[in-house]
Amino acid sequence: MGVIRQKVSLKQVRFFSPIGFYKQERILGNEFFVDLVVGLDYRNSSPDELVNTVNYEGLYRILSLVMVKERRLLESAADEILELVREEYNFLDQIDITVRKMTPPFGVDSAYSEVSLHYAK
């Protein structure tokens, strides 16, 4: 017998954040996009209610709390998002996070850098 899996996603959530290795990046800020995908077994007896699912408004709240902070590395933002999502939604068995920094300071307008973390129970 098969298992139905549920994914709840926030994609390309835009932030202007003080994140960067160089002090000037933290002073000026930069544009970031965050993807967050969470997974769980689908056992929702009331598919029109927030039972056994994840309210993506709560996920957005976590992203907003993390991305407003000044920090040096994308990795620290991704790690904090992962830990807060795991604390808030301990029933999740999969969490994927990507933090993408647009136009990092190495002289190429069309590039972006990104860090991804994957959690699986």
Q: Which residue ranges make up each domain of the chain?
A: 5-120
- In angstroms, rounded to a whole number, what is the distance separating the alpha carbons of residues 116 and 68? 19
pLDDT digits (tens, 9 = 90+) for 34-71: 999 999 998 877 777 777 789 999 999 999 999 999 99
Question: What secondary structure does DSSP assign to 37-66, as a single string?
Answer: EEEEE---S-TTSSSSS--HHHHHHHHHHH
Question: Token pair for residue 116?
Answer: 């991804």
Q: Class for domain 5-120, per CATH? A: alpha beta
pLDDT digits (tens, 9 = 90+) for 9-41: 999 999 999 999 999 999 999 999 999 999 999
Question: Token pair for residue 114?
Answer: 């990104």
